[in-house]
DNA sequence: TTGTACGCGTTATCAG
DNA sequence: CTGATAACGCGTACAA
């Protein structure tokens, strides 16, 4: 209490009174201008302007039984990976009639299910969910939803509705093959948090190492802790202490890779000659480091943009030809793996 | 169109029918349980559970003329600085009745004003806005708002309502003094984007240099470009090319500082002996680098937490004793400035 | 402690 | 092309 008084809010009927028509006509003039005669439209627009009318979203939602809200569920707001994605999502949606409502599942499927339930009850225009590891109940809810749903970050053969992402397994497999091609032989793996996508990356990496007869479980280091640069440094340090013969690591993401690089610098381990490092996600910063870090580009900006375009199209009734868009991923070879066997060393 | 049919939604009156009471009693049992007799409460809770009732937020908002939405306006979703803040905000609000609605001003005051207008019309429970540089109209709107408003990231003597942050001017001044104490004499400044807070940091830094007779405008490098690690590397490179006598830089944030460090590594410029580097914000990663980077801790986690606590208290009518909370900021001295004049060198 | 009547601001439906 | 009327689902104000 105690703050200044509310100015009486301007409603549709105020605008109607001002322009001498009924409320429904104002409502139509705003939503379907072509269905209202030109002179009326002008009078109404003028009245809206003069009175400073702003629609009441709650009333719209209640009356029409739908909203312009696109719900976006991501596991974390801190992770750099998602901030790139979010940025693209916001950009794509700005200047459309839709608004983003962001929710945070904290990597919990039960939290995700709870949030989906809440969102669905508010009749969103569309929903974006991260990954493919929803609970059975959540999948059920989403497939019965009366709005388009798009899963992002991953691909799989059984989309709930639509999907745009890439195979984490394949991306990591590419990274492993890259390290092998560069001549590394005792290749380790460092992973943190170990959420489902992280695990699939690990599997992709290990399967390739196995296929080449190079799999050594003792070179695999994982933790449930949240990924960070400092953690990458600590994990690389521990791994090298235990296995000084390690000659390359694939880290589950770029934070860990950068930490690993720093630890190498501290220990005077030569990168890439004594140790190769490959990260994942290709964050902006790994291009800048010295040496620059090899990473896997996952085109998150394009992913966010495509996801929102597909979703908004679907909301307008334009269903995509293909419900699953695979953006794939690409190894960006840089100095940290440029030991050079067949490729020329990076600049 | 063409997705599966909506199940008839469960409303208050369904629950009322199921438990044999009137709708208003159900409504009360949900919002003010103590005002309903125990047996009824139990019957109602059971019915809610059995039917899977979820309140319709639009109807609540329309009937009660207020919402549990806390609007949060930040300039960027990509900037690491805001992700730390956001994370604290989400954590503090989770498990309360409030929900966050995030909006993105893109560092534009006109966009901010537009968003405030939209938010205010939906009767938010509270509003969080970034900084102190709102447009006059926006300030006006916010001071007439019938909900608590808190400005974050900065402090000033004239809060719109409440405020929690720190002085960017002072923080940068501390950084400059730290560099001087460490024996650096030809101190440069590197800044990107140059939003209002960035500018105040620049002013704080330059004023100290000036007071010590060390201000050299030729050592100041700024750009409107968005800050990034790569940009930090490029800007440091250009500055050193032009002024090889530079012996320290204060960078406007940690991205730039890290880029500067990388560029030094590439050019074999010894940090901290030949060049000292001090960043701003104390991101997690700057503790891990080799050498570790000195930075200014701005306690963003605490800021987010305090802001939400103050706001939620104010919503419940508990106005704070002091409307402006100054969290201050602290130089965290690390290896990148440990040339050691009076302090002992960092570990 | 519980219930009745009504209104919140908008849109759907059906007439004119 | 325009309007009257009735919802939408819930909370407020008052009554019992």
Which tens digit of pLDDT belongs to each residue from B189-244? 999 999 999 999 999 999 999 999 999 999 999 999 999 999 999 999 999 999 99
Span B168-189, average pLDDT: 98
- Residue range of the domain that includes A28: 12-55
Whether B94 and B183 share a structural domain: no
Q: What is the CATH number of the domain that holds A48?
A: 1.10.260
How many whole angstroms separate alpha carbon B186 and alpha carbon B202?
A: 16
Q: Are residues B178 and B284 in the same domain?
A: yes
Q: What value does the mean pLDDT take over residues B1-15? A: 62
Confidence of residue B9 (pLDDT cuts 50, 70, 90): confident
Instruction: Write out the two tokens for B122.
Output: 């939906």
User: Are the Cβ atoms of A7 and B228 closer than 8 angstroms?
Assistant: no
What is the value of pTM for the model shown?
Answer: 0.92
User: Among partner residues B143, B146, B233, which is closest to A288 by beta-carbon distance?
Assistant: B233
* Residue length of chain B: 347
Dihedral sign, CA of A195, A198, A203, A204?
A: positive
In the prediction, which pLDDT does B89 show?
96
Question: What is the C-alpha to C-alpha distance for residues B162 and B154, in angstroms, rounded to an integer?
Answer: 11
> Per-residue confidence at B95, pLDDT binned at 50, 70, 90?
confident
Tell me the C-alpha distance between A90 and A101, whole Å.
10
Cis peptide before B42 (omega within 30 of 0): no
Q: Is residue A60 part of a domain?
A: no
B35 touches strand D (CB under 7 A): no
The C-alpha R_g of chain B, in whole angstroms, comes to: 26
Q: Express as a percent the part of chain B with pLDDT over 90.
A: 86
* Same-domain status, B188 and B41: no
Give the best residue of A7, A54, A56, A58 to mutate against chain B (max B CB count within 10 A).
A58
> Is A346 inside any structural domain?
no
pLDDT of residue A9: 80
Q: What percent of chain A has pLDDT over 70?
A: 95
Q: CA-CA distance, B339 to A106, in Å (whole number)?
A: 42
Helix (H, G, I), strand (E, B) or coil at B151: strand
| Paired tokens of B46 | 């059971």
Task: Write out the E strands in chain B.
Answer: 69-74, 99-104, 126-130, 149-154, 162-166, 187-192, 220-223, 248-251, 276-278, 295-297, 324-326, 330-332
The model's confidence at residue A347, banded by pLDDT at 50, 70 and 90, is very low
Stretch 1-30 of chain A: residues touching chain B, C-beta under 8 Å: 1-7, 9
B291, B316: one domain: no
Tell which strand D nucleotides have any atom below 7 Å from a protein Cβ.
1-5, 7-13
Looking at the structure, tell me whether residues B181 and B159 fall in a common domain: no
Q: What band does A5 get if pLDDT is binned at 50, 70 and 90?
A: very low
Q: Are residues A143 and A122 in the same domain?
A: yes
Quick one: pLDDT at residue A8?
Answer: 61
Shared domain for B292 and B176, answered yes or no, is: yes
In a domain, B113, yes or no: yes
Look at residue B5 and tell me if it is in a domain. no
pLDDT category at B340 given cuts 50, 70, 90 is low
- Comparing alpha-carbon positions, the chain A residue that sits nearest to B292 is A262
User: Could you say which nucleotides of strand C lie within 7 A of any protein CB atom?
Assistant: 1-5, 7-13
Number of domains chain B contains: 3
User: What's the average model confidence in pLDDT over B242-260?
Assistant: 97
> Cα–Cα distance between B247 and B187 in angstroms, integer?
6
What confidence score (pLDDT) does residue A186 get? 98
In a domain, A101, yes or no: yes
pLDDT digits (tens, 9 = 90+) for A111-127: 999 999 989 988 999 99
Instruction: Give the Cα separation of B215 and B213 in Å (integer).
Output: 6
Q: Domain check: are B287 and B175 in the same one?
A: yes
pLDDT score for B6: 41
pLDDT, tens digit, for every residue of B303-312?
999 999 999 9
- A242 lies in some domain: yes
Tell whether B162 and B173 lie within a shared domain: no
Same domain (yes/no): B122, B36: no
**Those residues with Cβ within 8 angstroms of residue B28's Cβ, 6 or more apart along the chain or in another chain:** B35, B36
CATH number of the domain residue B120 falls in:
3.40.50.2300
> Which of B342 and A55 is assigned the larger pLDDT?
A55
Q: Rounded to an integer, what distance in angstroms lies between the CA atom of residue B258 and that of residue B245? A: 20
Q: Do residue B98 and residue B149 come from a single domain? A: yes
Q: Is the CB of A40 under 7 A from strand D?
A: yes
Q: Given this model, what pLDDT does residue B121 score?
A: 87
Average pLDDT, integer, range A273-298 = 97
Task: Answer yes or no: is A6 within a domain.
Answer: no
Residue B259 shares a structural domain with residue B219:
yes
CA–CA distance, B258 with B289 (Å, rounded to integer): 8
């Amino acid at each position: 209490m105690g703050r200044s008084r509310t100015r009486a809010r301007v409603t549709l009927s105020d605008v109607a009174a001002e322009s001498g028509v009924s409320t429904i006509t104002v409502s139509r003039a705003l939503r379907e201008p072509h269905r209202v005669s030109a002179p009326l439209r002008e009078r109404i627009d003028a009245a809206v302007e003069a009175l400073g009318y702003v629609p009441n979203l709650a009333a719209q939602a209640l009356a029409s039984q739908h909203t312009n809200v696109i719900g976006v569920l991501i596991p974390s707001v801190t992770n750099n990976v998602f901030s790139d994605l979010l940025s693209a999502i916001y950009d794509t949606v700005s200047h459309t009639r839709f608004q983003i409502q962001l929710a945070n599942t904290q990597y919990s499927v039960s939290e995700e299910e709870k949030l989906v339930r809440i969102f669905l009850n508010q009749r969103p225009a569309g929903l974006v969910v991260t990954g493919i590891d929803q609970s059975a109940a959540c999948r059920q809810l989403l497939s019965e939803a009366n709005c388009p749903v798009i899963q992002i970050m991953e691909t799989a053969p059984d989309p709930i509705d639509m999907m745009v992402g890439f195979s984490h397994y394949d991306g990591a497999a590419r990274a492993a093959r890259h390290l092998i091609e560069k001549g590394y032989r005792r290749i380790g793996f460092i992973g943190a948090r170990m959420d489902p996508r992280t695990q699939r990356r690990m599997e992709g990496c290990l399967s390739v190492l196995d296929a080449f007869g190079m799999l050594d479980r003792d070179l695999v280091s994982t933790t449930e802790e949240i990924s960070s640069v400092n953690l990458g440094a600590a994990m690389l340090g521990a791994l090298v202490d235990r296995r000084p013969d390690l000659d390359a690591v694939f880290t589950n993401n770029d934070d860990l890779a950068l930490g690993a690089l720093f630890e190498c610098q501290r220990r005077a381990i030569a990168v890439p000659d004594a140790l190769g490092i490959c990260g994942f996600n290709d964050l902006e910063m790994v291009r800048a480091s010295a040496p620059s870090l090899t990473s896997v580009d996952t085109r998150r900006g394009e992913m966010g943009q495509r996801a929102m375009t597909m979703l908004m199209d679907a909301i307008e009734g334009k269903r995509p030809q293909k419900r699953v868009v695979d953006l794939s991923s690409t190894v960006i070879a840089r100095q940290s793996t440029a030991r050079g066997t067949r490729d020329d060393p990076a600049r």
